[in-house]
Chains A and B, each alone.
Chain A
Amino acid sequence: MIARTSTEPPVDDGDRAVGQRASSFTDLYERELALQLRRATLLIGNPHTARDLVHDVFADLYERWDRLDQPGSYLNVAVINRCRDHARKRRRRSQQQLVITSTDEAEMDELWDVLQQLPFNHRAVLVLRFYHQMTDREIAECLGCRVGSVGPWLHRGLSQLRKELT
């Protein structure tokens, strides 16, 4: 399986004119968009929300472009933080409201449903490990946590999946 991690673009120390900035930004956008859209969708479950969220991050990234030495790293962390914020707000809403919904999805994927119910950090570790093939250190950098936290979250996530699926 091929590791799905982003590649850091070289820093351009030359002219910071708008045209060149837009060109560099477009390169990064085209190179990273698919990966970030897939990652955000796997983390929050909804592809439409994920698309809005990722583009919000890209817009923010463009604003900060001149001050960032490693925009790729910023992008990785920012997308995950936005996903975490979204998951937190969704959890608050679900706790405060009594809502009955039905699903439009034709396919009821049990494992996918269970995955979406996991705490965000457990779900994120599973996605980053089993889809993006990241190491513990790479996962810790993305999530802003200790490397030592990754293993327990991975174990708990898998345990909960196993428990709910049996």
Chain B
Amino acid sequence: MTDLEQRLVATLERKADEVDTSPDVEFLARRATQPTSVPRRRRNRPSVASIAASLLVASAALGFVVVRSHQSDDGAVVTDSNIVTEPAPPELTQPWRVATEPVPDVTEPLAPETIPPSTLPPTTQSPDDGPPSTTHLTATIDVTDTITELVGPDPFVQWVIPWQSGFLMRADATSDLPLPDDRIGDLVDSVPPEWQASITDSPNPTDQEVLDGLKANGLWNPAVRILLGDLAGPVDTSGELVYSPDGIAWAPAAGTLPAGDSTYNRGVAVHGDRLAMYTVIDDQPHVATTTDLVSWRYDPVVVPQLLDDLPPTIMEHSFPGQLVANAAGWAVPYSYVYVLNSAVVATSLTGAGKSPAW
């Protein structure tokens, strides 16, 4: 055991010895007189609705590509290659349904002059027009199965960027989170009957059929994390780069992610044929740059310490912002937080790491 580990053990033991471990007599007395609880399914029905709503949100956020669209508020991944000419059919506005309509040809963009005036988005809005429309979809393509085949189970799309003449996507597959055996019943109870019917083929599914249905629909991890209250906890992921020339057909990209932990989803920028990604290698932030996704150049991000001679009780933490790039190179802003005994005592938004020339 190293000196640091011995010191750590001594500190933990000393702090633990200081804890008042006397029992709470009133707490025990209340338990002793408390009647048996009612069955869980009935008692927890209100919380089931909230869990189901959360599952809906979680499932809708996965793996959809919308072509010929302006920015959407529905959580789908969108591209914006052409002007929109038609509203979406109703079935295509529900992101958990697979579009069955023929996909319009996106290789032949309509010239603005060919668009009927009545279908163009209004440039001004009168007070009687109601709330402005923000979504003008022409087709929604469910790419969940495709990305699952390429990347792995329960994929999550971290970002999509323009790349070469098409699109580059980084998607992370997540392995199933472990759930203690004694929580299996709780998880099944958390899925209301109407949901069970939608994820299984059985009218009266067994627990195992419900669990299989959750996994088959990519809902296992969201459900486990909600159940355990572990929404920001660890998830084992493996990321892959996939490429599409048109946003519809996706295939593995000819290349790899840079070394290190590059999961920071605001840490990607593209300029022309150059791509920059923020990655952390051995606790040292770097920006990796490439033109072919094969050869990566790694430049360490020098994060300056803003204040010198800080007392040891105040800790300085720095956080990266959005990575940006232009012809001159890349830049990443940093914000700073100063913490004294778990409380933030000052913040700063200055400071940036900037690259040498590309």
Contact = CB atoms under 8 A, between A and B. Distances in A.
Contacts of A116: 341-342
Contact of B283 (A98, A113, A159): A159
Nearest to A19: B32
Interface of A: 1, 16, 18, 21-22, 25-26, 29-30, 33-34, 37-38, 41-42, 45, 47, 50-51, 55, 58-59, 62-64, 66-70, 73-74, 77, 81-82, 84-85, 88, 90, 94-95, 97-101, 103, 108-117, 121, 126-127, 130-131, 140-141, 143-146, 148-149, 156, 158-162, 164-165
A146 B176 CA distance: 10
Contact of A50 (B19, B24, B28, B233): B19
Interface stretch (B7-15, B55-63, B242-250, B299-307): B7-15
A81 B229 contact: yes
A38 B21 contact: yes
Contacts of B339: 94, 117
Nearest to A96: B344
B178 A30 contact: no
26 contacts: A1-B9, A22-B32, A33-B23, A34-B19, A68-B182, A70-B182, A74-B180, A77-B228, A94-B339, A94-B343, A95-B337, A95-B344, A98-B346, A100-B345, A109-B11, A111-B8, A113-B341, A115-B8, A116-B341, A126-B8, A140-B178, A141-B178, A141-B180, A145-B233, A146-B178, A149-B234
Contacts of A145: 178, 233-234, 236
B341 A34 contact: no
A165 B342 CA distance: 17
A146 B31 contact: no
Contact of B343 (A101, A130, A165): A101
B13 A131 contact: yes
A61 B7 CA distance: 35
Contact of A144 (B11, B20, B35, B233): B233
A162 B34 CA distance: 49
A110 B174 CA distance: 37
B74 interface: no
Contacts of B8: 111, 115, 126, 130, 161
Nearest to A55: B27
B1 to A, nearest CB: 9
A148 B90 CA distance: 46
Given A29-B28, A41-B16, A97 B344 contact: yes
Contacts of B34: 18, 22, 62
A51 B26 CA distance: 14
Contacts of A88: 232
A115 B11 contact: yes
Of all A-B residue pairs in the complex, the 4 with the closest CB atoms, nearest first, are: A34-B21, A38-B16, A131-B12, A22-B32
B35 A18 contact: yes
B128 interface: no
Contacts of B343: 94, 99-101
A85 B9 contact: no
Interface in B19-70: 19-21, 23-24, 27-28, 31-32, 34-37, 40
Contacts of A47: 18-20
A144 B23 CA distance: 28
Contacts of B232: 88
Nearest to B312: A110
Nearest to B319: A95
Given A111-B7, A112-B15, 11 more contacts: A26-B28, A29-B31, A73-B180, A82-B229, A85-B229, A99-B343, A99-B345, A117-B315, A121-B233, A131-B13, A162-B4
A120 B229 CA distance: 14
Nearest to B3: A162
Nearest to A50: B19
A42 B12 contact: yes
Nearest to B189: A67
Nearest to A166: B4
A165 B36 contact: no
B87 interface: no
A73 B34 CA distance: 23
